[in-house]
Structure 1
Amino acid sequence: MSKLASLFLLGLIVSVTVPASAEDKSQKESDSNIVVSDDGVSISENELRYVIQNWTPELRKSAATDGGDRIELLNQVLAIKKIAAQADDLTPEADGDVYWDLEMRLRQAKQVYMVKHFMATLEVPDMTELSKERYETEKRKYAHVLEQRSSSHILIRCDPRNCNGEKEEKRAQEALAKLKAGEKFEELAKEYSEDPGSKSKGGKFDAWLNRETTNVDGAYLKSVFLLDEPGDYTDVVRSQFGFHIIRLDEIKPAYDRPYDEVKDRIIAALENEYKQLTVKAYDDNFRFTDEVYIDNETVDKLLEPYLSEKE
């Protein structure tokens, strides 16, 4: 396959629309000029204009400047339409499930397309005033920033899979005793800690934590939030990594962001809610009406073979 053909397949085929199910689309465009025609299949001016618009810039440039490339591209365009037209010859009587498989795929594609088209043309109202109300009624959801805490620790590693912890806990208790005796936390971290990420930094844990932090060991997180004031430290705490002595370094109090900082987020959420509700209403318009007719006898007959089917 030539480079041009490869580019064509990547840049065009993905944008080919669903073929007409009953008649050649060019017949529906009798008011348009026929630009390419062969073997009973044709491409109209409007049709080709849309195809070219969806080519990549490289393909458009090739077709505009090279006659050979232009012929190859037009050949590909028409070939796609010829192949797609073969689907028009399928019938439920002659082709059975093959026909219905294609029919259901076409229906689904058309349904998805129409919903997308509906969404693309939907006019969303200005949500500014409603966003102000939402800010007041759901401030915790949109504006609340949880209290954050920074910490340091001394870690004596102990993998529970191959460590009973007796020796390691004893070493942690030794470091704790020195801390209580007045030695500096940072110096003890450099001497005792086995956490390579914080040891050289005096035990500093480089992350602000809140009560909902998920990527930190639960025992460590709980211990940080049990401390009252910066400078307070725990007794020896066991986690999945070993034995810690944890110090609270700093607290950033909880607060609510001002409206202007979260306005765009609230409006985006309201617009999304509006779209979801509107699409549901759009879908509901096509549900059963009061005049619906159902041949329950036939439906029962079709479903009967599945009565004993296991879920």
Structure 2
Amino acid sequence: MSIFARVQLFVFALVMAPLVVAGPTDVVIADGDVRITYAEFEAALEMTPEKIRSLSANDIADRFDLLTSMLQIRKMAKVADALGPDTPGYWELQFQVLSAKKQFVFDRELGAYKVPNVDALASEYYETQKDKYATKPELRKSSHILIASRPGLPRGEPRAKAQKILDALRNGADFEDMVAEYSDDPGSKARGGQLTSWMRFGEPGVTPPYTEALFEITNIGDYSEITDSQFGIHIIRLDGIQEGGYYSFEEVRNDIFKDIVAEYRSLATKDINARYGISDDAFIDGDAMEELFEPYK
């Protein structure tokens, strides 16, 4: 029978079907020895992608395709259930089924664990682990003059040039004038040498020698020693300091909560795994184990 004829027959069956409200255990699809109940079909629809579900709800041909797919899965599953251990891939299938069942039970039991109110514990974490959760790093603002020099090239001449510029600055030369005349960093040069971001020590995305030299400067307005990086040689001026300290509890509350919940779930996981581990009453055939493992020694 052609697909078109089968769809016509399917439509006829829908039209002629008695208008009876089905219950959860009632069979709503039967094809040979395959049966699908109302409850199973309802659950299958909930797990069907929304687009396919919508198409099937509004178009008979799409609905026919969906029902065909549902029946194909069940018919093939019956064939798989009838196969024996000598069938290639049999044990792989069994272990996949076992793994899926294990995950189902684990997720179900883990979901039954309710995380208690942890407000008091979160406050305790904040007080006892402030350095972990609430440290607010010192931030520094800076400007620089870059004498560009590619890695691997001799730096004697650019280093001597940078040292002369630094000596002139420390003797009162105007910083912005020196930037305009000597800096090879076009971005900061347009701003009088200023970098736009406040930086913490070890700031991600900033070459480490730069922040190391910046945080060695004691006073605002002072300069670093000449500093090598992969970009060349820097003369760095400290422009501002935002003192470090600690964030308030409310500012880090969510981070603490996430860690407590993760710890609780970890303990729950260990508890579930322990309950399903080998019991004291288990029997293990030691001789059989030795024989089974022998080829792998």
Taking structure 2 as the reference length, what is the TM-score of the superposition?
Answer: 0.87
1:230 corresponds in structure 2 to: 220
Equivalent residues in 2 for 1:202-213, closer than 5 Å? 202-213=192-203
For residue 59 of structure 1, the aligned residue among 52, 66, 80 is 52
Q: Secondary structure at the match of 2:198?
A: strand
Encode CA deviations 1:130-149: one digit per residue, 9 max, x unaligned. 11111100011111111111
Residue of structure 2 in register with 1:23 after alignment: none
Letter in 2 for 1:269: D
Provide the rounded CA distance (Å) in 2 between the counterparts of 1:74 and 1:109.
Answer: 25
Note if 1:139 corresponds to 2:137: no
- Mapping for residues 116-265 of structure 1, pairs under 5 Å: 116-161=107-152, 163-265=153-255
Amino acid at match of 2:101: K
Partner residue, 2:103: 112
C-alpha distance in structure 1 between counterparts of 2:238 and 2:218, whole Å: 8
Which runs of structure 1 show a deviation greater than 3 angstroms over 4 or more consecutive aligned residues?
Answer: none
Partners of 2:24 and 2:39 within 8 A in 1? no
Deviation per residue, 1:62-99 (Å, 9 max, x gap): 2222222211211111112222332212222x22x511
| 1-structure distance, mates of 2:114, 2:166 | 65
Q: Which amino acid in structure 2 is aligned with residue 194 of structure 1?
A: D
Q: Which amino acid aligns with 2:114?
A: E
Q: What secondary structure sits across from 1:198 in the alignment? A: helix
- Structure 1 SS opposite 2:186: coil
1:90 to 83, 86, 89: 83
Q: Give RMSD over aligned pairs.
A: 1.8
Alpha-carbon distance between aligned partners in 1 of 2:158 and 2:119, rounded to the nearest angstrom: 59
Q: Pick from 38, 41, 46: which aligns with 2:39?
A: 46
Q: CA separation in 1, counterparts of 2:144 and 2:24?
A: 79
Matches within 5 A, 1:25-44: 32-44=25-37
Gaps of 5+ in 2: 1-22
Q: Which whole-Å CA distance do the structure 2 matches of 1:212 and 1:275 have between them?
A: 33
CA contact (8 A) 2:214 2:237 kept: yes
The more displaced of 211-220 and 137-146 is 211-220
3-state DSSP of counterpart to 1:282: helix
Aligned to 2:259: 269
Gaps of 5+ in 1: 1-29
- Does structure 1 conserve the Cα–Cα contact (< 8 Å) formed by 2:213 and 2:225? no
CA distance, structure 2, for counterparts of residue 154 and residue 211 of structure 1: 20
Partner residue, 2:67? 74
Match of 2:26, as an amino acid? N
Aligned to 2:93: 102
SS in 2 for 1:125: coil
Greater gyration radius: 2
Distance 1:212 1:245, change over 3 A: closer
In structure 1, distance between residues paired with 2:80 and 2:100: 15
TM-score (norm 1): 0.83
Asked if structure 1 preserves the Cα contact closer than 8 Å seen for 2:226 and 2:233, the reply is yes
Report the CA distance between 1:31 and its aligned residue: 6.7
Aligned to 2:195, what secondary structure does the other structure show?
strand
Q: Distance in 2 between matches of 1:61 and 1:214?
A: 48
Shift of 1:211: 2.4
Give 1:245 shift: 0.4
Q: Distance in 2 between matches of 1:217 and 1:122?
A: 47
